[in-house]
Amino acid sequence: MADQKTSNRQGRGIKEVFRKYMVALKRSPQSIPLVTLLIAFLTYSLNLSSIANTTARINGANMGQCEFIAMLFSILAFVVFLRAFPKRKKANKVMLGLLGGMLALLVFVDVVYITRIVNATTRAENTIVIDDNSRYISTAQTVVTLHVVFIAVTAALLILLPFYSKAIRKIKTSIDVEGNENMAAIDIAEDDQ
């Protein structure tokens, strides 16, 4: 009997954690694109050594600037994102426009960077060969491609935010308490006399 009560408590505990998560998500559905933006930033910044080594090895036109701009605007995008969605207020349209511009710039510099890698590894003369000593080049190419994908997903989630936030708000998160369904309405008009 005690084991059954313990398992019921654990089952309710998991349900309660999920319910609280859904309540928080209903209050701020913009946290979904914020998480994808965080994943994009972590993917890029945790592999920055491979990207820096690739920039030093290939030394293509504007590769260093692209790397710098991508890192800078990945950080600034967080600040602008948080300013675009102030707590319990409507979204700031100016900040949303600025965020959209930053995301577009991030995709642009990443595409330029990937193009420089592809050009260096496929050109006819003085081709850079990826071997065991230069494996970081393929890692950098993969990381920058993933960065573009996560930025694109973030932009798509921001565009679709009004639609899926309505669907999230329809999810029932209230708690049913036993005995409440039989309660009659309380008339407080007579208490004033």
Q: Assess whether pLDDT exceeds 70 at residue 189.
A: no
Question: Which pLDDT belongs to residue 109?
Answer: 95
Q: Please indicate whether residue 111 or residue 22 has the higher confidence score (pLDDT).
A: 111
Question: Which pLDDT belongs to residue 25?
Answer: 67
140-158 mean pLDDT: 94
Question: Which pLDDT belongs to residue 188?
Answer: 64
**How does residue 150 score in pLDDT terms, banded at 50, 70 and 90?**
very high
48-68 mean pLDDT: 89
Question: Which pLDDT belongs to residue 48?
Answer: 92
Instruction: Give the number of other Cβ atoms within 10 Å of residue 120's Cβ.
Output: 19
**Mean pLDDT for the chain?**
82
Question: Which pLDDT belongs to residue 29?
Answer: 81
**How does residue 46 score in pLDDT terms, banded at 50, 70 and 90?**
very high
> 74-102: per-residue pLDDT in tens?
999 989 999 998 877 888 899 999 999 99
Instruction: Report the share of the chain in percent with pLDDT over 90.
Output: 43
